[in-house]
Structure 1
Amino acid sequence: MSLPDIRTLVPHSGQMVLLDRVVSADTDDLCAEVRIHAGSMLANEGGVGAWVGIEYMAQAIAAHAGWLAMQRGDEVKVGFLLGSRKYEAKVAQFALGEVLHVHVHRVLQAENGLGAFECRIDVVDGASAAATATVTVFQPHNVNQFLKDGNVG
């Protein structure tokens, strides 16, 4: 199966797309890849702070939602990161030259758009579970109506 370009799956543009590609995807799971380099968004002289891992996870969740939308023939929609529980990083930063695999697994998806994902970041050829979290998200059926009046319907 050919996987789409990550930029077609997330509602971000330009440098705000922090992930490089989709490695695998199915109904409940997605794995995305990001290469840490000097030009990476939010990079410092040694790499990218591990705190950015939560955004890598959120974008992988967005890519999963985008992939599912494409499978149904729907458009990719905006979603919202509501929060995370137990974000733990075993490293202070993701070092320059490292390749990360960001794994997201959907554990809850309600009809109203509320979802929860178990997330993990592995360093390829390095630390397994370098960062983990449970991330909650919300994707309203009509984002414009939701932003206008808070109606989730």
Structure 2
Amino acid sequence: MNISDHLPHASKIIMIDEVVEFGAGKIKTRSVIKEDNGFLRDGKIEMYKAIEIMAQALGVYDSKTREESGKKSGLGFLLGSRKFEIFIPCLSVGDEVEVVSICSIQDDSGFGVYDCELYVNGILGSKASLSVISPDDDFLQKVLND
């Protein structure tokens, strides 16, 4: 599976290398921080950017979920985060990053809340509850035309 098929991002800012586990209400992803990563500053990625990694994992989850039900992948939006905690200050080149996201709430409009944990080399680096929406095309057209 090519992750770029599931995310609309430019390749240098895609923070997910592979899906380790995918199922109803859950996704686990893995990546290794590379030297060409677009988020690197002085060889480090500040841990507050973990929210982006978590959001990308949810983007892949949504795309794969739609794909399984015969729908085409759409745009998704991060609406906000709650309970964001940081336990490690930054990521470095070569770090292995795993994200585990579990659905807390999901409705038919595309709105969902997911509990996410990000592990760095097997150690909990941060966690947050993310609110996202992945509206269908009809909803997007209505919003854009109103």
Q: CA RMSD in A?
A: 1.6
- Residues 23/146 of structure 1: CA separation in 2 closer, same or farther (3 Å cut): farther
The residue matched to 1:10 in structure 2 has which SS?
A: coil
Please list every run of 5 or more consecutive structure 2 residues that lacks an aligned counterpart in the other structure: none
The number of residues matched between the two structures is: 145
Note if 1:90 corresponds to 2:92.
no
Superposition deviation, residue 101 in structure 1:
0.3
Residues in 1 aligned to 2:22 and 2:47: alpha-carbon distance in whole angstroms = 24
Of 34, 57, 61 in structure 2, the residue corresponding to residue 60 of structure 1 is 57
The Cα of 1:146 is off from its aligned counterpart by 4.7
Q: What letter corresponds to residue 116 of structure 1 in structure 2? A: V
Residues 120, 146 of structure 1: alpha-carbon distance in 2 compared, 3 angstrom cutoff: farther
Q: What is the match of residue 111 of structure 2?
A: 114
Aligned to 2:67: 70
Matched residue, 1:13:
10
Instruction: Confirm or deny: 8 A CA contact 2:13 2:39 kept in the other structure.
Output: no
CA distance in structure 1 between the partners assigned to 2:2 and 2:141 by the alignment: 29
Equivalent residues of 1:38, 1:45 under 8 A apart: no
Q: Does 1:45 align with 2:37?
A: no
- List 4+ stretches of structure 1 deviating above 3 A: none
Question: Out of 23, 29, 32, which is 1:32 matched to?
Answer: 29
User: Identity across aligned pairs (percent)?
Assistant: 25
With the length of structure 2 as denominator, give the TM-score of the two structures: 0.90
SS of corresponding position for 1:130: strand
Structure 1: 5+ residue stretches without partners = none
Deviation at 1:123, TM superposition (A): 1.6
- Measure the CA separation in 1 of the matches of 2:44 and 2:71: 37
